[in-house]
């Protein structure tokens, strides 16, 4: 009760409502006073330092509990220089990529240890600069820049930032920066090898927007894998357009007409794969018996809803987020951040569009 009459205005700071009464948040001094000790002792007790009699510690903890005391990370980090906060700057409109990365980053240091300030620049350079300025003012410990759908190199934020920066998903244009990307060639390779293993020999590739390097790299990976195995990739050389299913259907139709013998399709995205499945269905071709299909992204909304469910390549974005965050905090501990582009492995998720008796293809999730 002694904490309301110390002259502090109820309007300052965040107000604490308890049973309708408005109180300012409890401070360390309030806890110390209630426990009958000094601030220093209270601080030690709350932070599990030694040099505190256990009985005293107990009194402090009880007082803190009674007052719903929450130490101000603001004040604490004003001294330590660390805020326990990282920024994520992104252009990823629908969050397909950034959210798994965010989840991974949160996990890297144990949930609750680190908080993430998420800023969406929405493809606007001005907005990006404003967000960056705000993040720096908030003294984030590190920054993860997550590319949007496009994986082309993006402009670097420069080297004269006071904090370590990791570029994820889309690389930085500068080789001095550290960029973590998904290994698109490996993805194409893994897809092709899987199809080869299940006996397919007439394998075609359906690309998305040709201006996306991801689309081309995935094709290159598939092509290289088949060459290694003594086969080759079927393509009429113009299988690129955009990422819509509409375009995917047009491509698939043309492909099936020009190369009716194909027994497998690798698509550059799950959407394109779904488009291929639709066309195959319209034409009465069975999947996977007649034609096997592999998608890319392992996007649950698609892969679990197609007929049959879709085998796909998972980019393991959570792992990317974990790695980004641990590199960031490693740099803060003095380890070298590193530089250049690191390509991270992908994983093949097999479903019924390539292997018929997929046991967990029924309703996984």
Partner DNA sequence: CTGTTAGCGCGTTCAA
Partner DNA sequence: TTGAACGCGCTAACAG
Closer by beta carbon to DNA, 23 or else 337: 23
Judged by CB under 7 A, does residue 67 bind DNA?
Answer: no
Pair type for strands 165-168 and 142-146: parallel
| Stretch (H or E) spanning 191 | helix 184-197
Q: What is the DSSP string of 305-317?
A: TSSSPPEEEE--H
Among candidate residues 325, 305, 303, 306, the one with its CA nearest the CA of residue 314: 303
Give the contacts of 210 (CB within 8 A, at least 6 positions apart).
216, 240, 241
Q: Which does 133 bind (CB under 5 to 8 A by kind): DNA, a copy of itself, none?
A: a copy of itself
Q: List C-alpha distances in Å: 229 to 193, 202, 232, 265.
A: 8, 13, 8, 17
- Counting Cβ atoms within 10 Å, is residue 23 exposed (0-12), middle (13-18) or buried (19+)? middle
Single residue of 3, 56, 85, 350 touching a copy of itself by CB under 8 A: 85
Residues that bind DNA (rule: CB under 7 A) add up to a total of 33
* Stretch of residues binding a copy of itself (CB under 8 A), selected from 77-85, 186-194, 195-203, 216-224: 77-85
Judged by CB under 8 A, does residue 136 bind a copy of itself?
Answer: yes
Single residue of 133, 227, 335, 336 touching a copy of itself by CB under 8 A: 133
Single residue of 29, 111, 125, 229 touching a copy of itself by CB under 8 A: 111
Within its chain, how far is the Cα of 61 from the centroid? 38
Question: Three-state SS for 58?
Answer: helix
Judged by CB under 8 A, does residue 73 bind a copy of itself?
Answer: yes
* Stretch of residues binding a copy of itself (CB under 8 A), selected from 48-56, 103-111, 260-268, 347-355: 103-111
Give the C-alpha separation, 122 to 101, whole Å.
17
Judged by CB under 8 A, does residue 284 bind a copy of itself?
Answer: no
Q: List C-alpha distances in Å: 144 to 24, 90, 175.
A: 35, 8, 16
Judged by CB under 7 A, does residue 38 bind DNA?
Answer: yes
Binding mask 256-275 for a copy of itself (x = CB under 8 A): ---------------x--xx
Judged by CB under 7 A, does residue 43 bind DNA?
Answer: yes
Judged by CB under 8 A, does residue 48 bind a copy of itself?
Answer: no
Among candidate residues 300, 304, 240, the one with its CA nearest the CA of residue 272: 240
The first and second tokens of residue 289, run together, are 């018996």
Closer by beta carbon to DNA, 40 or else 345: 40
Judged by CB under 7 A, does residue 62 bind DNA?
Answer: no
Within its chain, how far is the Cα of 153 from the centroid? 17
Cβ 55 to a copy of itself shortest distance, Å: 26
The first and second tokens of residue 341, run together, are 């582009």
Closer by beta carbon to a copy of itself, 118 or else 224: 118
Q: Which does 46 bind (CB under 5 to 8 A by kind): DNA, a copy of itself, none?
A: DNA
Q: Which residues bind DNA (CB under 7 A)?
A: 12-13, 24, 27-29, 36-41, 43-44, 46-47, 49-53, 55-56, 69-72, 75-76, 78-81
């Amino acid at each position: 009760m002694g904490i309301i009459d110390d002259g502090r205005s109820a309007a300052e700071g965040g107000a604490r409502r308890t049973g309708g009464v408005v109180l300012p948040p409890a401070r360390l001094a309030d806890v110390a006073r209630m426990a009958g000790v000094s601030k220093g002792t209270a601080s030690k007790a709350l932070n599990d330092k030694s040099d505190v009699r256990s009985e005293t510690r107990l009194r402090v903890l009880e007082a803190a509990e009674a007052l719903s005391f929450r130490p101000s990370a603001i004040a604490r980090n004003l001294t330590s220089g660390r805020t326990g906060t990282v920024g994520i700057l992104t252009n990823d409109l629908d969050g397909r990529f950034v959210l798994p990365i965010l989840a991974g980053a949160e996990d890297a240091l144990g949930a609750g240890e680190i908080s993430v300030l998420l800023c969406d620049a929405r493809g606007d350079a001005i907005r990006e600069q404003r967000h960056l300025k705000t993040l720096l003012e908030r003294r984030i410990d590190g920054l993860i820049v997550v590319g949007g759908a496009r994986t082309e190199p993006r402009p670097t934020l420069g080297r004269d930032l006071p904090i370590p920066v990791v570029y994820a998903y889309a690389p930085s244009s500068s080789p001095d920066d550290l960029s973590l990307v998904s290994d698109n060639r490996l993805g194409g390779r893994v897809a092709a090898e899987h199809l080869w293993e299940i006996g397919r020999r007439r394998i075609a590739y359906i690309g998305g927007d040709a201006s996306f390097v991801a689309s081309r790299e995935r094709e290159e990976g598939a092509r290289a894998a088949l060459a290694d195995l003594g086969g080759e990739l079927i393509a009429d050389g113009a299988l690129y357009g955009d990422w819509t299913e509409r375009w995917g259907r047009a491509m698939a139709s043309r492909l099936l007409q020009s190369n009716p013998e194909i027994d497998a399709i690798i698509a550059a995205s799950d959407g394109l794969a779904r488009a291929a499945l639709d066309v195959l269905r319209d034409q009465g071709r069975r999947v996977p018996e007649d034609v096997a299909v592999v998608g890319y992204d392992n996007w649950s909304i698609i892969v679990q809803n197609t007929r049959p469910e879709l085998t796909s390549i998972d980019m393991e974005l959570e792992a990317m987020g974990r790695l980004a965050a641990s590199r960031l905090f490693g740099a803060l501990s003095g380890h070298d951040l590193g530089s250049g582009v690191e390509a991270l492995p992908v994983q093949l998720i097999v479903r019924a569009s390539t292997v018929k008796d997929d046991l967990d293809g029924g309703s996984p999730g």
